[in-house]
Amino acid sequence: DTGVSQNPRHKITKRGQNVTFRCDPISEHNRLYWYRQTLGQGPEFLTYFQNEAQLEKSRLLSDRFSAERPKGSFSTLEIQRTEQGDSAMYLCASSSTPVNEKLFFGSGTQLSVL
Amino acid sequence: EDKVVQSPLSLVVHEGDTVTLNCSYEVTNFRSLLWYKQEKKAPTFLFMLTSSGIEKKSGRLSSILDKKELSSILNITATQTGDSAIYLCAVGDNNDMRFGAGTRLTVKP
């Protein structure tokens, strides 16, 4: 399978714990996006990378959130001191640049904070 | 602030009906508008539109962009139960891709 891969598929954690999600984009894609989606809403933009550079961060991304893409390949999204309001589906998507902006999505990581 | 608004938020129809979903946007440095279908988890790509007035078609689905009106429509003819899903509109500028809240379509047998 050469699509976008996300791990884990599900994560249940207790409030206050740290969690880390991983995204492996399609190998030739330069851009990698993180979105958060709650029930009944469209995906909300969190951040994106062009290769290893993090080019934009949404104000939704509090200082408890950090994302990295150290070698311009896979990316991690860490949430520290999780809160119940962090419960959501975290979607990763990738695209090639500069012409094709079609995003290819992973299946997401469903986070539940108890 | 950039925004993407979809309407209606939900729609219930019967098999065979034709539906029209709407997307309007306010985005600086518009580059493209994309439609996605989301059934369970990962949104799947339907169309990408960059030029006004050119209809994109795929089977029973079609879409068109109006850059003057800052809007797009997605049409589905002869709906089937398998069309039940959330339909997402996304608009790309020079930096990122912003999504609307989606239209939840339910097609009843």
How confident is the model over A7-37, as pLDDT tens digits? Answer: 999 999 999 999 999 999 998 898 999 999 9
B52 CB near a chain A CB, below 8 Å? no
Q: State whether residue A69 is helix, strand or coil.
A: coil
Chain-centre distance for alpha carbon B85: 11
If phi > 0 it is left, if psi is from -120 to 50 it is alpha, else beta; for residue B36 that is: beta
Which chain B residues are within 8 Å of A109, Cβ to Cβ?
Answer: none
User: What is chain B's pLDDT, residue by residue, as a tens digit (109 residues)?
Assistant: 778 999 999 999 999 999 999 999 998 889 899 999 999 878 999 999 999 999 999 999 999 999 999 999 999 999 999 999 999 999 988 777 889 999 999 999 9
The CA distance from B101 to B80, in Å, is: 23
Inter-chain CB proximity A108 and B44 less than 8 Å: no
Which chain A residues are within 8 Å of B88, Cβ to Cβ?
Answer: 42-43
Residues in contact with A84: Cβ distance below 8 Å, sequence separation at least 6, in sequence order: A15, A113, A114
Inter-chain CB proximity A42 and B34 less than 8 Å: no
The CA distance from B100 to B82, in Å, is: 22
